[in-house]
Chain A
């Protein structure tokens, strides 16, 4: 270890089975002092946080993806293995491993502990969910377990921050010992000796665990009866599937219903700000940039924050309760019909919020063909960035007519149809892919169904906070910058003397739009849409902002008062609007999605294929929609 390294804070890593409460413990240790290098939904990357120990030591904590073994099966488990073994080139292995074990399920959890102990690294075992174990009548002798394993054992209830203080004290003690050892021997940073265990080794670990359990667990307690009773309904072949579809329906319903009031608030605030700036500043380029460019553009994107948070709220809660694994179980056979793995459900569900975490969540699928098939269809799930486009066009063109006696409205039905179109085309694409390029048997399903648990509001809130931060950072950087560029392109050069058309017609954006128009005329797009589509590839929701800017700059006098939806309804034909909706079902995904696909597949080939196939589908769907709608209407 170099002199430089010793100045770094000591690092501890949290390792354990999936669902053992690692992330809750991480939150209890670090609070809000954490940096998430990944997207919420499913833990697929390292999360790093820090805390100050009782002895005043600043300690860095890494939360690793859950695993049953260091024999990593999937890319996310490889992250865990490589961090624990110190295989990442730029960092040593952690100074201390905190193994988190679910006390209600010791047999499976101790197996990993036994494997980790073989590494010879300093270890502390956190026996998590002790309250639930005791409630079940499970009696674990922590002192005996500690003696038998030869590592400190601390009972914790991470979800209520129970046992955190004793754990911190243990960490301090272990750190002191580790740094003494490091002072004695410089080989602390040597890579761990580890080789993949054979099935014989695994059986030996199992025997060791049986021995530990016999010596340290006086009473194994009752199995989780409540979970079993609930599952009798929720995993029922008929009621279970019906419940799953009900949950999904409620989720999308809530995205609209719950988000409406906060969206109106944001809308009011944005227009208020715009009016205030317009009233305060003198007429000129600066005022136009602020009101038409930045406030109109960024405001039309920020307004969708409530919908995105509602969607993520559902995903985080379903994940925390343990229901997502059930959904994968229920859908495995049905999704197998198009060759997908049941586990693909989780990345695909995340993709409804955003394809980026969806593509990353596909890391939990081990088999490369299954994983690629999932990644390729993930962007067909209607992500929340497409919501602004859908919402705007529906508001402009679909009359609010109640159907079925007011039970559903026509706008809601159209929205549902758009989501359904995305899902059905995804299934069709998966079917084609699995029948051609990704032929072969599916990866086995071997998935733990965790006991049901009440989600901790604090952990959900932290997840939502993280999501809001990511979204607003994007609105404040990428989208902000794009808006300034678009305003500039749409404003310069100005209209010549005696011009009859709105100024934007003569601007650079106008020229780009007019240049692209012949290409897009067959699918009914106007030059304004052409202008909006270009930055829409960088970030889909920007298209709405650009349309906002274009129409704000095109209007004058009375028309300026009307909303963007009103302006569109007045200037587009219905077939054009339908064609644009069809385009956005397949819309060439944003740059962020393409770059995450590049990262996850290690090359440009798959993102290129994705872009090509989606733009082909989008053009084809728009062409058919426009032609059919023009003929019929």
Chain B
């Protein structure tokens, strides 16, 4: 469910989301929160999909490529695999700078 407690969510210092990372930036996932993301999916679905594709607390991500035009969608490395997603939906993934 979307109400899963993610203590680091939102107001953590330097609270950014995956959607705003630039090419080459690395980060660590601190939470998944789909609120505020416009989607066709039922509630809780985007969050579950993100987790299934490896975007879960603790994962290491790096923005590898940006498409054209508008630097969107983006291709990111998630631990060992590569994932393509749009910046709009990447907003649901909260990140902190890689340690």
Q: Do A and B bind each other?
A: yes
What is the bound-complex CA distance between A325 and B73, given in angstroms? 13
Bitwise, A210-241 to B at CB < 8 A (1) or not (0) is: 10000000001001000110011001111011
- Using CB atoms, name the residue of chain B closest to A342: B73
3 residue pairs, one from A and one from B, having the closest CB atoms: A237-B68, A235-B65, A449-B82
- Using CB atoms, name the residue of chain B closest to A221: B80
What is the bound-complex CA distance between A232 and B23, given in angstroms? 11
Assuming the contacts A199-B44, A200-B4, A231-B75, asked whether A445 and B68 have C-beta atoms less than 8 A apart, the reply is: no
A382 to chain B, nearest CB (A): 26
What is the bound-complex CA distance between A232 and B72, given in angstroms? 15
Number of A-B contacts (CB under 8 A): 135
Contact of B48 (CB < 8 Å), options: A202, A369, A445, A449: A202
Name the B residues within 8 Å of A236 (CB-CB): 65
What is the bound-complex CA distance between A220 and B50, given in angstroms? 22
Name the B residues within 8 Å of A329 (CB-CB): 67, 73, 75, 84
Q: Which residues of chain A in 497-537 are interfacial with respect to chain B, using CB atoms and an 8 Å cutoff?
A: none
B6 to chain A, nearest CB (A): 10
Q: Can you give 15 A-B contacts (C-beta < 8 A)?
A: A68-B52, A198-B48, A199-B1, A199-B32, A202-B51, A235-B67, A325-B84, A333-B72, A334-B69, A441-B40, A444-B40, A448-B81, A449-B82, A449-B84, A450-B82
A4-12, A104-112, A253-261, A354-362: which one contacts chain B?
A104-112
Q: A425 at the A/B interface (Cβ < 8 Å)?
A: no
* Contact across chains for A449 and B75 when beta carbons are under 8 A apart: yes
Name the A residues within 8 Å of B80 (CB-CB): 104-108, 220, 223
* Contact across chains for B48 and A444 when beta carbons are under 8 A apart: no
* Contact across chains for B39 and A445 when beta carbons are under 8 A apart: no
Name the B residues within 8 Å of A199 (CB-CB): 1-2, 4, 32, 44, 47-48, 51
Name the B residues within 8 Å of A107 (CB-CB): 54, 79-81
What is the bound-complex CA distance between A111 and B85, given in angstroms? 20
Contact of A111 (CB < 8 Å), options: B44, B52, B70, B73: B52
Name the B residues within 8 Å of A220 (CB-CB): 80
- Using CB atoms, name the residue of chain A closest to B3: A199
Bitwise, B12-27 to A at CB < 8 A (1) or not (0) is: 0000000000000000
* Contact across chains for B54 and A108 when beta carbons are under 8 A apart: yes
Q: A474 at the A/B interface (Cβ < 8 Å)?
A: no
* Contact across chains for B67 and A448 when beta carbons are under 8 A apart: no
Bitwise, A340-355 to B at CB < 8 A (1) or not (0) is: 0010000000000000
Name the A residues within 8 Å of B48 (CB-CB): 71, 197-199, 202
Report A's interface with B, CB cutoff 8 A.
68-69, 71, 73, 104-108, 111, 197-200, 202-203, 206, 210, 220, 223, 227-228, 231-232, 235-238, 240-241, 325, 328-330, 332-334, 342, 367, 369, 440-451
What is the bound-complex CA distance between A369 and B40, given in angstroms? 10
- Using CB atoms, name the residue of chain A closest to B37: A444
* Contact across chains for A440 and B67 when beta carbons are under 8 A apart: no
Contact of A448 (CB < 8 Å), options: B50, B53, B68, B79: B53
Name the A residues within 8 Å of B2 (CB-CB): 199
Q: Which residues of chain B in 31-90 are interfacial with respect to chain A, using CB atoms and an 8 Å cutoff?
A: 32, 38-41, 44, 46-54, 56-58, 64-73, 75, 77, 79-86, 89
Contact of B67 (CB < 8 Å), options: A198, A202, A330: A330
Name the A residues within 8 Å of B81 (CB-CB): 105, 107-108, 448
- Using CB atoms, name the residue of chain A closest to B74: A329
Name the B residues within 8 Å of A235 (CB-CB): 64-65, 67, 75
What is the bound-complex CA distance between A450 and B38, given in angstroms? 27
What is the bound-complex CA distance between A632 and B48, given in angstroms? 61
* Contact across chains for A449 and B79 when beta carbons are under 8 A apart: no
- Using CB atoms, name the residue of chain A closest to B66: A237
- Using CB atoms, name the residue of chain B closest to A197: B48
What is the bound-complex CA distance between A69 and B80, given in angstroms? 18
Name the B residues within 8 Å of A449 (CB-CB): 75, 82-84
What is the bound-complex CA distance between A200 and B51, given in angstroms? 10
Name the A residues within 8 Å of B66 (CB-CB): 237
